[in-house]
Amino acid sequence: MKSMTMNGMNTMKNRETTDHQIKILTASALLMAMNVIMSSFGIPVPGGHLYLNDCIITTAAILLAPGYAAAVGGIGAFLGDFFFYPTPMFFSLIAHGLQGFLISWAVRKFVDKDGERSVKGAVIGCVLGLIVTTIVYSLGRAFVYSTPEYAILKLPYQIAQPTVGAIFGILVCFKFGLIKRFDSLFNK
């Protein structure tokens, strides 16, 4: 009789684990689709375009574990470039994949006194992500367009884009309560 009860408890625990994994994969897929959309078009600004996919990457990285955040950032940006402007797609895969991973890692590494994700960790991660995306895209532009001058010319956009994304993601997750809502739905 005791083994039947244990089997029933194990089955219920396995089902809960599977349900949780499905929820997280679904949320990741939704965020990845949003990343594809946001990386597919830019807001025209003097001298170039500003893409808002960093807003989605930062938000996903704060909410999701590092592996999921890396997939949302890298694969989402890769697909957005693949469909609409394929030249930088591999640089986007690397830059935004690392960006998502680093933000998510830092948010979980630098926690507040209660062990919860903190704004401090998000800011540290966003700074690391900004450095990585700036380096990868600058090297990529110098390589693809064969001119370091072009990479230097685009440097302000490479800094502005992750900065805007960081501000948006941190505000939405911490100030406007998305992190608490997400945790209540997906991390029960």
Alpha helices in 39-65 (DSSP H): 53-63
Q: What is the pLDDT of residue 32?
A: 98
pLDDT at 151: 81
Q: What CA–CA distances, in Å, run from 115 to 3, 108, 171, 181, 187? A: 37, 9, 20, 17, 15
Enclosing domain of residue 27: 2-186
**For residues 66 and 182, what is the distance between their CA atoms, to the nearest angstrom?**
16
User: Which stretch of DSSP H or E encloses residue 45?
Assistant: strand 43-45
Q: In total, how many domains does the chain have?
A: 1
Question: Cα separation of 103 and 133, whole Å?
Answer: 12
What is the pLDDT, as a whole number, of residue 2? Answer: 53
Q: What share of the chain is helix, strand, coil (3-state, %, to 5)?
A: 80, 5, 15
Q: What pLDDT, on the 0 to 100 scale, is given for residue 3?
A: 53
CB 178 within 8 A of CB 58: no
Mean pLDDT by 10 residues, the chain (188 residues): 56 76 95 94 82 96 98 97 91 97 97 92 98 93 81 87 96 96 86
Give the per-residue pLDDT at 16: 75
Q: Residue 55 belongs to a domain with what CATH number?
A: 1.10.1760.20
- Residue 70 CA from chain centroid, whole number: 6
pLDDT at 5: 56
pLDDT at residue 12 in the model: 63
Instruction: Write the single-letter amino acid at 184.
Output: S
User: At a CB cut-off of 8 Å and minimum separation 6, what does 115 contact?
Assistant: none
Judge contact between 104 and 124, C-beta under 8 A.
no
The whole-model pTM stands at 0.89
Q: Provide the pLDDT for residue 169.
A: 97
- The rounded distance, in Å, linking the Cα atoms of 121 and 58 is 12
Looking at residue 174, what is its pLDDT? 97
